Structure 1
Amino acid sequence: MSQPTHMFNLKDLRSPDLDIIQGLPHTVQSSPERKMAGVSVGTPLLLEDMVFPAFITVLAALHLGTIARRVGLQRIKLKISLPNTTGDPTFERTFRAHQNCSEFFPIFLSVLWVSAIFFHPGLASLVGVGYMFFRENYFNGYRRSPKERLPGFIGSSICLFVLVGTGLLGVLTLALRRYGNTDP
């Protein structure tokens, strides 16, 4: 059984023969020797590059936990016992707003990380902050009145579309470079 000509090594990510090109999406040029050795042409991501998306992920989880806590406090204030989810209209709106935020959370995390990895971690993080801002507006608006949730919903939806778009752009760009031998 023959040994591969090149084993992946973390030191490859810091190789001096990589020239980082500025711009979005961020890209890397590889030397012909690296291409012939079977080393993937793409952006080497260092752990340091993912600090902001990781921070936004933790903040978003804390935000969702805070929203859940507000549902619990509303339950106590209005004396609605578990497992009931109906009763006072204010509680029902608060509960539903939390459920909606929980339903969108995995979608947000998925597109945040795809955009951060394949497009740009800084831009994805900035849009992630915007998403959390609009989700907070959505939650507070929904607690007051279902109609007041719309500005927060529209804003957070735009943020999700931006993350989906940048993530797709980054993935397609890398796929074209890697498998189509093109450089868009």
Structure 2
Amino acid sequence: MDSNKVMENIYLLVTVTLISAIQNAFFAQKVERECTSHKTQTSASERVSCANRNCMDAYPTFLAVMWCAGLCLSQAPAAFAGIIYLIVRQKYFIGYLGETSQSTPGYMFGKRIIFFLILMCTVGIFNYLLLRFYGSNYKEYVEMITSAATALLLLP
């Protein structure tokens, strides 16, 4: 397999991963700025630090399921779900800077996106097993359903 074919299959996932790394740098910069601007720990610096820690705790899971969903099933819906997750994570982070109750919608929406990506991974693996052991390939049907279901992620 040549490198162009490999890049064709993963370039959207790579783009979302790069955007997420830039977002992590933004979060880290925000935490550093908030912590260095106050000599003592204030509630604002504690909230920023806690929001960053919460985002970083979920980050490996997000990356793993996004890449698995993209490789096992279809990269476009997985990358779209990844972009939506990054937007939701930004909303969560900013919401956490205000009242903690403002971050709850972002948290719940993020969980729904992670669940969708896990479901994509599971379906992709199940389809591979069907193809491997029974010769039945439902990937085209599943990709069509997944692409249509991705739009449902936009519903609040």
TM-score, L = length of structure 2 = 0.82
Match of 1:170 among 110, 124, 142: 124
Q: Which runs of 5+ in 2 are unaligned?
A: 139-156
1:33-182 map, 5 Å: 46-80=6-40, 87-182=41-136
1:22-37 map, 5 Å: none
Aligned pairs, how many? 138
Q: How many Å apart are 1:154 and its aligned residue?
A: 1.1
**Residues 4-57 of structure 1, C-alpha deviations (whole Å, 9 max, x = no match):** xxxxxx36x99xxxxxxxxxxxxxxxxxxxxxxxxxxxxxx6321211100100
Kindly indicate which of the two structures has a greater share of residues assigned to helix.
Answer: 2
Looking at both structures, which has the greater relative contact order when contacts are Cα pairs under 8 Å and sequence separation is at least 6? 2
Deviating beyond 4 angstroms after TM superposition, the runs of 4 or more aligned structure 1 residues are none
Q: How many Å apart are 1:152 and its aligned residue?
A: 0.7
Q: Give distance in 2, aligned partners of 1:66 and 1:120.
A: 29
Identity %: 22
Name which one, 1 or 2, has greater alpha-carbon Rg. Answer: 1
Q: Which runs of 5+ in 1 are unaligned?
A: 1-9, 15-44, 81-86
TM-score, L = length of structure 1 = 0.70
